[in-house]
Structure formats: structure tokens, C-alpha cells
């Protein structure tokens, strides 16, 4: 007969196992990717991998530069488009919007966060690509297929809105009320209070929100892949197509096994992606933890 | 008869359904110290904060009646709130510092109202730090964060900050309740000295403080104005029963 | 002084415009996808699998993707649950404030931000190593990894909120830790746990990058764990770019189906969470 204490003991050991497993997953993933990229890392110098734009895997040439630049172009454009409206909207929601309006708008933003990536891609293909091709590009005097950095940037910007807005909202809400009251009592306008007092104390949090948004955009795969053209050349304008790292991995997994070192190459791209996104998130996480601690403990 | 500096006429304040201030009518002369006393929850802070429209910030607040300052009703729609708040300063119970240096805390007020000249600001900062008896302690470290000061120093900083926008009236919400006795005495000393230039209205629950500082006393009970008059009269020999009960310590 | 008012008004206008831009984009996405997709939805679309040729046949519907997605996300949710609940319980009941707890939580925080294509790449690598082909099982494995940090974090938050007094009552009656956990903690946290499961399920069903390499794609409904499985996200991805309008219709239908499923889950879990919050005001 199994006693209660034995059951208790077994259960706790099983739970411990589950916990250890959960804690180790991220390390296992990094390790496996690292191991898979080794063949390529050991045969080619890192500088060449990073800075050469010669991508001819069947000839053994693995220059990731075009893809890195593709990712950077799209991500930076997305952030440039996303940050100003997100910040302004966060300020509006936190400081100006009547409670009822905030109660309606905030959930809508959270809903935006839940829309799957392919649906954004679908929207991009149906709506954005023709928009860029038929309206935006002609205004700029350019002809393009519509599958451009611009389309990718816009889609990513919309996907990143909720990330920046929800974190910014949290940090703005956490900034101390007394300083606000002091400013108003001295006769400052609401905007002056926001500009000089609120922004000052929330700046680190907002930077963290932007970093997190950057990480999200950097790692995004499907939506951007569907609208960005996937041409392996360094883009020279926002109306050129690009080939982000995520798209590189997604598009070529089929050929991975047929060309020597190709799988290494793609796993290296994955590793690079992973490490960059993790770096962003860890930095932002540390900043936010500091802020949360300060305001929850007073 | 002099015109009162502040004239409150039938002021009613509602927080949602709760009728916090009932038909307050009161005149306050200039350049004196007025103490608002009463048991907790009687509306002292509400009355104080309705004098510079800080209660506007409370959700669901409704105000009726008039508050005339220099014969202008501050609750008129056409009035510019920010200039009201410049004219009528507020010092809160616990020091509410701006997240800036000592210098910037004081310079903030003048800056937002248009003073940009660096020399002018320097003079203003020094002048009002002296006026609040803080200059000697901080003159060498004006650029340090204000949060590094002790609580007593912080409250004096808030006083200097409020004075720097050159108000006519100073509202103080229990200005010494967060301070140790020595710092409290210093603030009280400053307020007495400032009486020459400003009309000072303060809320307190310490009867002895009211006795020490005030020229005029206002007693509130459950949102109603029960009695008001010169300090010696109200505190030593009040007319109303409820005032007597409060002053004797029977209700609090 | 007028300058201040002007500045205030200017920024207020900017703020409202920004809000409209953000909300407008949301509306644009919903409207376009629903509009195109609703036109493509029909009973046959929902109940038939594609036919008339390998992969891009012109007849039939999206049943393969619907069932495939349900299998994939369902399987992954079950697996993730089996790991997540014990972990969340352990973190709160047994290992509270220990080094293991903070290490695990931080590790999971980091995992939370991993882009899903990494799970696909990782899964694919492991599958090759094990000699597996793209299959339902592979997809479930990759999705499980995706769901883990989401589910654990959500469960952790709910379990953490359970007041100590309840557990004390149980212990003082002589119950073991396990019994207290099962009878008191889980029961109290049940609504929150269900919400966590829903949340993770919703995230998994919408993900394409993890299953791209690992689950494969097929016109058929998988009959075993080792068959490849279609999924709604991949149904959109693969079928959107074809020149055949019938196939594109299937892409639109998949898109709107996916959107409806995910948004419903999102709304339901939000309503649930709100209801829970009512009881947690202490």
C-alpha cells in the first residue's frame, strides 16, 4: 500500500523534474543551434560570414551581409514608423483620455497583439502591397512590385504597436502622482507637466519598451516574409525588396539537406537571430525590473 | 472696511454622491494666517484644495458656488486655471518633490511661467531658499537631486518652490505633520515671518499649532462651517457647542 | 502664455491622431481579412479537404487545415499542460524563493521572447537527428516548446495570488503538501489555470513559423502522429501566392477562420480574467 507520504514524495520529485526541464529548455535550444552552426563557424572566418554579401551556398560562399542589412532596414523602418504614434498614444491613454474611452481603447490594443502573424501577412499582401505599388511608389516617382522594405516596415510597425504601447502605459502609470500634483499646483499646464515631469521619470521605461519592440520586430517571420520580396541584395531604398534573416531561414529549410553546410548556414542565421533577440530582451528586462522594483517598493 | 482677499460664497463640493462641503460662506482678509481646524474627514482638505482648484483633479467632483479672489471668481469658465494656481500656491502634507535637482525644483515654477534668463533664475532660487531658511544648508549643492535632502529640508524646499512663483496666497495642508518637532518648528517660524507678505491658510489637526500660528480660525464639522473668528475667540472661548467639544478634545 | 496653450493643443491633436492611426490599423486589418474571408466561407469550405490534384487542387475546402490545427495545438496544449502545471505548482509551493525558482523563472522569461522560427529550426534539427519526417508529432513538439513559457507564466501568476490562509487551514488539519496542493490550491486557481491553457492554445494555433518545418503540410487529415499535418496559418501562407483563385479562396477562408478562432479565445480569456479579478481584491 502506498502511503500518503510516499505519494507526496513522488509527486514532489516529479514536479521538480518538470521544473528543471522548463528551466533548461532555453539552454538546450541555444546549445543545439550552436552545435549545428559549428561546421560553418569553424570553416569560415566570422568577419567574412557577417560582412560579405556573396550568398552562393552551392559554391560554399556564405555571406550573410545582405540578409543582416535586410533585417536592419525593415526593422529600423518599422521602429521609426511605430515609435512616435505609440508613445503619443500611450501618453494620451495614460494622461488625457477619459476613463471610459481608455477602457474601450486599451482592450482593443491588446486584441491587436493577439492577431497571428500570418493574418498580418495576409493583410499585407491583399492591402499593403497594392497600396505601395499603386499609390505610394508613384507619388515618390518609383516603380515597384509593392513587395518592398516599406511594406515590410509598415506591417511590422503595426505588429509592434501593442508591445510598445502596453509597456509604456505601464511605466507611465507607475510614475509618482505627487510630482504631478506638485507641478499642477505650481500652475503648469497638463502638457508641461507631462513634458517636464512625467517624461523625465518614465524615460528609462519607455526606452525599455522600445527595445522590446525592436526585439519583437527583429524576430518576426511570417508577416514580413510575405510582403518583403525576398531578394538577396542589400536594399538601397525603402522601395527595394529585402531578405531578412527570418525569411532566409523560413524559405530554405527544404533545401537545407541537399547542399553541404547549408543547414549549418541556416542554423547560424537562427542562432544569430536568437542571440540578438535574447540580448534585447534581457537588457530591457533588467531595466524594467529595476523600475518595477523601485515603484512597488516605493 | 477692507476688501477681503478671498471671499467664499455658498461653496458646495460633491464627490459623486457625497456632499463634502455644505454651503460654505467665508471672507478672508489679506496678509494674515488662517487656520482651518476640525475632526478628521470634516472637509478641511477639500476646502483648502478648492481654493486653488486642485480638487478639479478628482474624478467625479462637482463644485457649485463662488470663490472670489481679488473679486474674481476662480470657478468662472473664462478664467485661466494656471494663473490661478500661480497666484495661490499649495504645500502638501508630505513633501512632493519634482524628480529634479534642488535648483531645478525651485526654478521649475518660474521656468514654466516664462522666465528663461539664467541669471534671473539664479537670483530667484537664492532668494526663496533664503526665505524658507534652507539656503545655508544647500548653497553648495544645488545641483544634487532633491531627494537627497532630509524630510524637513524637503518640506522647506517645497515652501521655497511655492514661493518662487510669487503667489499672493499660500495654502498649506498639514505642513508639519510629516516632520520631526525641530523641523516642524522651523517651518512654523518661516510661516510666521511670511505672514507679512502673503495670506496664509493652513489646515491642521494640532490645536496648539493653530494657537501658535493663526490670527483667524475656521472650524469645520462634517462639511459645514460651524464657527469662525479671531483665533483667541474661537480657541479660548468658542460660541458653538460643537466647537467647544472639539477644542476641549471631546471629538476628534 | 498663449504659447503654452498652443503647445498643449498641438500635442493633444498629435496624440489623438496617433491614437486614430493605431486603432485605424487594427480596423484595417480586421476589415480586410474578414471581408475577403467571409466571401470565401461556405459549408463545403469548412467541411471538405482540398482535392483535385496534389497540394494545389482546385476543389474542396480547408477541413485539412482546421482539423490539423486543432490536433497540433490541442496536442501541444496537453503536453505543455503536463509540464507547466507541475512546474508552476513547484515554483510556488515547494521552491518558493529558492535559487532554483528564480533561475527557472528568469530562464522562462528569456524563453518567452524567443521568436517562433527558432522553435521550428530547433525542432527540425532534432527531428533530422532522430530520423523523423515532418509530422504531427514534430509539430506538436515544437508548439509545446512555444506554449511552455506562456502557460507557466500565466499559471504562476494565478497560483501566486492564492492567499496563504487557505493553505494554512489545510495544513493545520494534517494534510500533506500534495493533498493541499491538489485539493486547495488547484481548486482555488482553477479558473486562472483554464485561462492560462486557453491563452497558450490561442497562441499556438496561430503560429506558422514553428510548424513550417516540423509539421509539414498535406491535403489530408492526419491519421496518425507520424503523418504530416496541415495547419490554418500554413494554409494561408502556401495557398495565398498561387495563381488559382479557388486556391486563394481557401487561403482567405483559412485566414478569417484563424482570426475568428484566435480573437474569440482572446475575448473569452479576457472576460474570464476580469471575472477572476473581482475576487482578488483584498
Query: Is residue A90's pLDDT more than 90?
Result: yes
Distance in Å, alpha carbon of B117 to nearest chain A alpha carbon:
18
The closest CB to that of A249, out of C33, C95, C121, belongs to: C121
Phi, psi values for residue A153, rounded to 5°: -65, -40
- The sheet with strand B169-173 has its strands ordered as B72-73, B61-69, B6-15, B18-28, B224-230, B216-221, B33-37, B199-203, B169-173, B88-91
Q: How far apart are CA A119 and CA A223, in angstroms?
A: 7
A268-279 mean pLDDT: 92
Give the confidence band of A297 by pLDDT, cuts at 50, 70, 90. Answer: very low
Query: Is residue C56's pLDDT more than 70?
Result: no
Task: Tell me whether residues A109 and C208 touch, CB distance under 8 A.
Answer: no
In this predicted structure, what is the pLDDT of residue B2? Answer: 67
Domains of chain A: 67-296 (1.10.3720.10)
Query: Is residue B51's pLDDT more than 50?
Result: yes
Q: What is the dihedral of CA C114, C120, A46, A256, to 10 degrees?
A: -170
3-class state of residue B229 by DSSP: strand
User: Residue A197 carries which DSSP code?
Assistant: I
The closest CB to that of C29, out of A4, A120, A270, belongs to: A120
Class of domain B6-248 (CATH, top level): alpha beta
Please tell me the CATH code under which domain C43-278 is placed: 1.10.3720.10
In this predicted structure, what is the pLDDT of residue A127? Answer: 93
In this predicted structure, what is the pLDDT of residue C280? Answer: 54
Task: Tell me whether residues B158 and A182 touch, CB distance under 8 A.
Answer: yes
The pTM for the full model equals 0.84
Give the confidence band of A298 by pLDDT, cuts at 50, 70, 90. Answer: very low
B166-195 mean pLDDT: 91
Q: Which of A17-26, A198-207, B227-236, B243-252 has the lowest mean pLDDT?
A: B243-252
Neighbouring C-alpha atoms within 13 Å toward the C-beta of B217: 28
In this predicted structure, what is the pLDDT of residue C69? Answer: 94
Q: What is the CA radius of gyration of chain B?
A: 18
Chain C residues near residue B112 by CB distance under 8 angstroms: 4
Residue-wise burial string across A183-211, b where 16 or more C-beta atoms lie within 10 A, e elsewhere: bbbbbbbbbbbbbbbbeebbeebbebbbb
The closest CB to that of C113, out of A25, A108, A278, belongs to: A278
Q: How far apart are CA B221 and CA B243, in angstroms?
A: 9
Please answer whether residues B72 and B113 qualify as being in contact, where contact means their C-beta atoms are separated by less than 8 angstroms: no
In this predicted structure, what is the pLDDT of residue B115? Answer: 86
pLDDT-above-70 percentage for chain C: 94
A78-106 mean pLDDT: 93
Q: How far apart are CA A158 and CA A146, in angstroms?
A: 18
- For residue C153, give every residue at least 6 positions away whose Cβ sits within 8 Å of its Cβ, in sequence order, or none: C108, C109, C112
Chain A residues near residue B92 by CB distance under 8 angstroms: 178, 181-182, 185
Subunit partners of chain A (3 or more CB pairs within 8 A): B, C
B68-87 mean pLDDT: 89
Chain A residues near residue C15 by CB distance under 8 angstroms: 88-89, 91-92, 96
pLDDT digits (tens, 9 = 90+) for C12-48: 999 999 999 999 998 999 999 999 888 888 777 777 7
Chain B residues near residue C4 by CB distance under 8 angstroms: 82, 112
Query: Is residue B1's pLDDT more than 60?
Result: no
Using a CB–CB cutoff of 8 Å, tell me whether A179 touches chain B.
yes
Please answer whether residues A117 and A155 qualify as being in contact, where contact means their C-beta atoms are separated by less than 8 angstroms: no
The closest CB to that of C33, out of A111, A114, A122, belongs to: A122
The closest CB to that of C83, out of A11, A21, A126, belongs to: A21
Distance in Å, alpha carbon of C19 to nearest chain A alpha carbon:
5
Q: How far apart are CA A122 and CA C34, in angstroms?
A: 11
CB atoms within 10 A of CB C2: 6
In this predicted structure, what is the pLDDT of residue C57? Answer: 57
In this predicted structure, what is the pLDDT of residue C282? Answer: 38
State the average pLDDT for chain B: 90
Query: Is residue A81's pLDDT more than 90?
Result: yes
A232-257 mean pLDDT: 88
Q: Alpha helix locations (H) across B88-230?
A: 102-112, 118-131, 135-138, 151-164, 181-194, 207-213
Picking from A170, A150, A154, the residue whose alpha carbon sits closest to that of residue A110 is A170
State the average pLDDT for chain A: 89
Using a CB–CB cutoff of 8 Å, tell me whether B107 touches chain A.
no
pLDDT digits (tens, 9 = 90+) for A111-150: 888 899 999 999 999 999 999 999 888 888 888 888 999 9
Please answer whether residues C212 and C234 qualify as being in contact, where contact means their C-beta atoms are separated by less than 8 angstroms: yes
Distance in Å, alpha carbon of B87 to nearest chain C alpha carbon:
15
Please answer whether residues B67 and B48 qualify as being in contact, where contact means their C-beta atoms are separated by less than 8 angstroms: no
Query: Is residue C252's pLDDT more than 80?
Result: yes
Give the confidence band of B47 by pLDDT, cuts at 50, 70, 90. Answer: very high
Subunit partners of chain C (3 or more CB pairs within 8 A): A, B
Please answer whether residues C204 and C76 qualify as being in contact, where contact means their C-beta atoms are separated by less than 8 angstroms: yes
Query: Is residue B33's pLDDT more than 80?
Result: yes
A253-272 mean pLDDT: 84
Give the confidence band of C281 by pLDDT, cuts at 50, 70, 90. Answer: very low
In this predicted structure, what is the pLDDT of residue C279? Answer: 60
pLDDT digits (tens, 9 = 90+) for C78-137: 999 999 999 999 898 887 778 888 899 989 989 998 999 999 999 999 998 898 888 999
So what's the ipTM on this one?
Answer: 0.89
Task: Tell me whether residues C104 and A22 touch, CB distance under 8 A.
Answer: yes
Q: How far apart are CA A263 and CA A267, in angstroms?
A: 6
Interface size, chain B vs chain C, as Cβ–Cβ contacts under 8 Å? 7
- For residue C88, give every residue at least 6 positions away whose Cβ sits within 8 Å of its Cβ, in sequence order, or none: C152, C155, C156, C159
Interface size, chain A vs chain B, as Cβ–Cβ contacts under 8 Å? 64
Picking from B67, B55, B65, B74, the residue whose alpha carbon sits closest to that of residue B28 is B67
H/E segment holding residue C79? helix C63-89
pLDDT digits (tens, 9 = 90+) for C228-249: 999 999 999 988 888 888 888 8
Task: Tell me whether residues B97 and A197 touch, CB distance under 8 A.
Answer: no
Task: Tell me whether residues B96 and A197 touch, CB distance under 8 A.
Answer: no
Distance in Å, alpha carbon of A205 to nearest chain C alpha carbon:
18
Distance from the Cα of residue C143 to its chain's centroid: 9
Amino acid at each position: 500500500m502506498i502511503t500518503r507520504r510516499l505519494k507526496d514524495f513522488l509527486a514532489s520529485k516529479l514536479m521538480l523534474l518538470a521544473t528543471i526541464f522548463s528551466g533548461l529548455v532555453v539552454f538546450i535550444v541555444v546549445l543545439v543551434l550552436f552545435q549545428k552552426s559549428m561546421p560553418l563557424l569553424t570553416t569560415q572566418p566570422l568577419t567574412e560570414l557577417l560582412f560579405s554579401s556573396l550568398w552562393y551556398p552551392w559554391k560554399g560562399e556564405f555571406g550573410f551581409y545582405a540578409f543582416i542589412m535586410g533585417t536592419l532596414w525593415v526593422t529600423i523602418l518599422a521602429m521609426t514608423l511605430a515609435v512616435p504614434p505609440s508613445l503619443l498614444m500611450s501618453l494620451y491613454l495614460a494622461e488625457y483620455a477619459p476613463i471610459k474611452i481608455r477602457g474601450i481603447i486599451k482592450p482593443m490594443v491588446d486584441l491587436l497583439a493577439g492577431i497571428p502573424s500570418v493574418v498580418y501577412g495576409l493583410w499585407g499582401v491583399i492591402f499593403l502591397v497594392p497600396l505601395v505599388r499603386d499609390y505610394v511608389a508613384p507619388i515618390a516617382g518609383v516603380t515597384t512590385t509593392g513587395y518592398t522594405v516599406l511594406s515590410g516596415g509598415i506591417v511590422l510597425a503595426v505588429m509592434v504597436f501593442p508591445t510598445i504601447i502596453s509597456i509604456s502605459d505601464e511605466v507611465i502609470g507607475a510614475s509618482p502622482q505627487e510630482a504631478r500634483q506638485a507641478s499642477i499646483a505650481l500652475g503648469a499646464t497638463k502638457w508641461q507637466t507631462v513634458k517636464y515631469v512625467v517624461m523625465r521619470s518614465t524615460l528609462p521605461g519607455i526606452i525599455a519598451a522600445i527595445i522590446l519592440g525592436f526585439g519583437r520586430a527583429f524576430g518576426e517571420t511570417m508577416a514580413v516574409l510575405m510582403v518583403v520580396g525576398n531578394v538577396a541584395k542589400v536594399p538601397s531604398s525603402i522601395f527595394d525588396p529585402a531578405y531578412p534573416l527570418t525569411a532566409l531561414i523560413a524559405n530554405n529549410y527544404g533545401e537545407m539537406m541537399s547542399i553541404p553546410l547549408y543547414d549549418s548556414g541556416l542554423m547560424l542565421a537562427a542562432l544569430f537571430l536568437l542571440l540578438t533577440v535574447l540580448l534585447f530582451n534581457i537588457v530591457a528586462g533588467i531595466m524594467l525590473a529595476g523600475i518595477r522594483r523601485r515603484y512597488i517598493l516605493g | 472696511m477692507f476688501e477681503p482677499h478671498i471671499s467664499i460664497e455658498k461653496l458646495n463640493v460633491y464627490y459623486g454622491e457625497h456632499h463634502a462641503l455644505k454651503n460654505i460662506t467665508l471672507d478672508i482678509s489679506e496678509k494674515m494666517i488662517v487656520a482651518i481646524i476640525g475632526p478628521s474627514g470634516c472637509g478641511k482638505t477639500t476646502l483648502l484644495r478648492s481654493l486653488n482648484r486642485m480638487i478639479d483633479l478628482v474624478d467625479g467632483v462637482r463644485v457649485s458656488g463662488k470663490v472670489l479672489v481679488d473679486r474674481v471668481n476662480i470657478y468662472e469658465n473664462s478664467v485661466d486655471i494656471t494663473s490661478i494656481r500661480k497666484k495661490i500656491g499649495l504645500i502638501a502634507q508630505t513633501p512632493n518633490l519634482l524628480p529634479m535637482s534642488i535648483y531645478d525644483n525651485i526654478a521649475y515654477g518660474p521656468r514654466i511661467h516664462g522666465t528663461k534668463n539664467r541669471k534671473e533664475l539664479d537670483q530667484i532660487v537664492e532668494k526663496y531658499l533664503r526665505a524658507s531658511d534652507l539656503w545655508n544648508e544647500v548653497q553648495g549643492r544645488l545641483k544634487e537631486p532633491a531627494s537627497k535632502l532630509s524630510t524637513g529640508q524637503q518640506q522647506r524646499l517645497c515652501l521655497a518652490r511655492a514661493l518662487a512663483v510669487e503667489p499672493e496666497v499660500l495654502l498649506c495642508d498639514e505642513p508639519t505633520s510629516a516632520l520631526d518637532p525641530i523641523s516642524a518648528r522651523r517651518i512654523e517660524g518661516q510661516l510666521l515671518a511670511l505672514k507679512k507678505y502673503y495670506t496664509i491658510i493652513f489646515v491642521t489637526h494640532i490645536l496648539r499649532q493653530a494657537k501658535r500660528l493663526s490670527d483667524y480660525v475656521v472650524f469645520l464639522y462634517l462639511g459645514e462651517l460651524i464657527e469662525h473668528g479671531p483665533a483667541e475667540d474661537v480657541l479660548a472661548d468658542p460660541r458653538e457647542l460643537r466647537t467647544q467639544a472639539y477644542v476641549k478634545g471631546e471629538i476628534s | 502664455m498663449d504659447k503654452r496653450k498652443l503647445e498643449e493643443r498641438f500635442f493633444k491633436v498629435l496624440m489623438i491622431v496617433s491614437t486614430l492611426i493605431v486603432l485605424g490599423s487594427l480596423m484595417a486589418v480586421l476589415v480586410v481579412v474578414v471581408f475577403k474571408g467571409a466571401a470565401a466561407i461556405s459549408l463545403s469550405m469548412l467541411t471538405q479537404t482540398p482535392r483535385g490534384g496534389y497540394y494545389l487542387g482546385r476543389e474542396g475546402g480547408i477541413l485539412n487545415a482546421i482539423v490539423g490545427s486543432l490536433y497540433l495545438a490541442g496536442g501541444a496544449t496537453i503536453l505543455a499542460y503536463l509540464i507547466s502545471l507541475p512546474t508552476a505548482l513547484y515554483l510556488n509551493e515547494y521552491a518558493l524563493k529558492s535559487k532554483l525558482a528564480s533561475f527557472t523563472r528568469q530562464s522562462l522569461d528569456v524563453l518567452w521572447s524567443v521568436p517562433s522560427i527558432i522553435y521550428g529550426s530547433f525542432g527540425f534539427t532534432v527531428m533530422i537527428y532522430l530520423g523523423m519526417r515532418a509530422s504531427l508529432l514534430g509539430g506538436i513538439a515544437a508548439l509545446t516548446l512555444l506554449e511552455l513559457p506562456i502557460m507557466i507564466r500565466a499559471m504562476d501568476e494565478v497560483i501566486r495570488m492564492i492567499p496563504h490562509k487557505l493553505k494554512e487551514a489545510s495544513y493545520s488539519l494534517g494534510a500533506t503538501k500534495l493533498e493541499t496542493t491538489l485539493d486547495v490550491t488547484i481548486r482555488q486557481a482553477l479558473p486562472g489555470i483554464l485561462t492560462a491553457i486557453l491563452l497558450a492554445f490561442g497562441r499556438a494555433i496561430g503560429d506558422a513559423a514553428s510548424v513550417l518545418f516540423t509539421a509539414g503540410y498535406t491535403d489530408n487529415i492526419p491519421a496518425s502522429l507520424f503523418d504530416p499535418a496541415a495547419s490554418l496559418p500554413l494554409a494561408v501562407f502556401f495557398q495565398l501566392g498561387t495563381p488559382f483563385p479557388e486556391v486563394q479562396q481557401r487561403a482567405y477562408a483559412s485566414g478569417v477562420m484563424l482570426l475568428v478562432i484566435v480573437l474569440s479565445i482572446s475575448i473569452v480569456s479576457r472576460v474570464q480574467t476580469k471575472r477572476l479579478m473581482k475576487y482578488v481584491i483584498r
